[in-house]
């Protein structure tokens, strides 16, 4: 029994040590890298050249060898999350600009606790269509490149790609562009017992360039009076994508029909989009309690009134009887 107990303790100790070591390896695999600036915007005429500067910071105590690359990126969700495209064929030529950028070198080493400054040169073709191009200049550690080649599952690939550190470059090719956006969806509960009201809206960008709408959510009562107003967050909406907004308007005690309106301006010409929705707010539980209380008060009042009238009539009869007795005597 003693040998068995000692064996069990040894096994559990070994498992604990393995867990600690594995946790340490995972912690060390999280690379401490930064890029500055994380995003920048440059406007350029067709046929012209320019450059952007980036700095990659190695915040670890080890040298990092890796590769500098350029790729297009897109935003697929309504949260504004960028996704780097490994191949230019994955993106419409309308928004592809990775092939316009030239890096000074490909294989680099960032010294421990140091910075790697680079300059990316941009050459725009003379026949480039006006509008936006969205490019990521990123550093990928050499160890991650090897792991990607050996990775088997999509989950492993996604985990390794997450270790890239990228600076986003928004290139605007000057010229006439299409500016178009719309509020593709607006939602709020049609009926509430209490406020405030959560109003959700989605703005879809159909422009040739990303937009940054400036707007608000306004709540008015049935008489048109202003109840509340909240500003929309100023966020980028990339071409052919939508972003969600959520605002809490009003207060707890509200009654009647309300109209929530989302209005926003965008683009260089200040175009406006607007959409509204109606909401009813009725605190029916409180109203029911008040109604029941009124009914009880009315019933008590009627009962009390009847008792008073009955008592008064009884007294009148007694007075009449006394008068008759007095007259007879």
Residue 143: the pLDDT is 67
pLDDT at 324: 74
Maximum separation of any 2 CA atoms in the chain, in Å:
135
What is the rounded CA–CA span in Å between residue 154 and residue 293? 65
**Residue showing tokens 């008068």:** 323
Selection from 122, 125, 113 nearest residue 59 by Cα: 113
Looking at residue 190, what is its pLDDT?
95
Ramachandran sector of residue 181 (left: φ over 0; alpha: ψ -120 to 50; beta: rest):
beta
**Phi and psi of 208, rounded to 5°?**
-85, -5
Residue 40's nearest CA partner among 135, 118, 124, 122 is: 135
pLDDT in tens, the chain (329 residues): 445 444 444 434 343 333 333 333 333 345 689 999 999 999 999 999 999 999 999 999 999 999 999 999 988 777 778 888 876 666 667 788 999 999 999 999 999 999 999 999 999 999 999 999 999 999 999 865 444 444 444 443 333 344 789 999 999 999 999 999 999 999 999 999 999 999 999 999 999 999 999 999 999 999 999 999 999 999 999 999 999 999 999 999 999 999 999 999 999 888 999 999 999 999 988 888 988 999 999 999 888 888 888 888 888 787 777 777 777 76
H or E segment to which residue 19 belongs: helix 2-29
- Cβ pair 232, 246 in contact under 8 A: no
Q: Which residues pair with 72 in a beta bridge?
A: 135
Q: 19: which residues sit within 8 A by CB, 6+ positions away?
A: none
Place of tokens 């509340």: 228
Q: What is the DSSP letter of 233?
A: P
Token digits of residue 263: 């209005």
Q: What is the CA radius of gyration of the chain?
A: 36
CA distance 30 to 26: 7
168 dihedral zone (left: phi>0; alpha: psi -120 to 50; beta):
beta
- Residue 91 confidence (pLDDT): 63
Task: Provide the whole-model pTM.
Answer: 0.72
Please give the pLDDT value at position 106.
Answer: 93
The CB density around residue 212, as the number of other CB atoms within 10 Å, is: 12
CA distance 237 to 240: 9
Residue (of 229, 197, 226) closest to 215 by Cα position: 229
DSSP 128: P
């Amino acid at each position: 029994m003693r040998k068995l107990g000692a064996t069990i303790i040894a096994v559990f100790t070994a498992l604990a040590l393995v867990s600690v070591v594995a946790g340490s390896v995972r912690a060390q695999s999280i690379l401490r890298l930064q890029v500055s600036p994380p995003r920048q915007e440059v406007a350029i005429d067709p046929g012209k050249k320019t450059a952007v500067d980036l700095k990659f910071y190695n915040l670890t105590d080890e040298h990092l060898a890796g590769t500098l690359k350029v790729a297009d990126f897109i935003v697929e969700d309504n949260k504004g999350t960028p996704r780097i495209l490994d191949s230019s064929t994955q993106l419409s030529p309308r928004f592809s600009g990775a092939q316009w950028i030239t890096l000074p070198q490909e294989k680099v080493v960032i010294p421990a606790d140091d910075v790697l400054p680079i300059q990316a040169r941009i050459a725009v073709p003379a026949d480039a269509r006006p509008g936006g191009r969205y490019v990521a200049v990123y550093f990928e550690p050499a160890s991650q490149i090897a792991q990607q080649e050996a990775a088997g599952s999509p989950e492993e690939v996604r985990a390794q790609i997450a270790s890239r550190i990228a600076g986003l470059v928004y290139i605007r090719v000057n010229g006439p562009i299409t500016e178009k956006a719309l509020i593709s969806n607006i939602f709020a509960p049609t009926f509430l017992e209490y406020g405030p009201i959560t109003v959700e809206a989605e703005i879809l960008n159909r422009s040739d360039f990303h937009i940054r709408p400036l707007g608000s959510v306004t709540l008015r009562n049935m008489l048109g009076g202003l109840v509340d107003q909240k500003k929309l967050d100023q966020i980028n909406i990339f071409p052919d994508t939508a972003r969600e907004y959520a605002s809490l308007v009003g207060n707890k005690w509200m009654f009647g029909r309300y109209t929530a309106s989302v209005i926003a301006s965008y683009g260089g010409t200040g175009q406006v989009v607007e959409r509204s929705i109606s909401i009813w707010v009725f605190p029916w539980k409180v109203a029911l309690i008040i109604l029941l209380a009124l009914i009880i008060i009315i019933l008590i009042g009627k009962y009390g009134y009847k008792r008073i009238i009955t008592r008064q009539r009884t007294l009148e009869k007694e007075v009449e009887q006394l008068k008759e007795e007095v007259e007879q005597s």
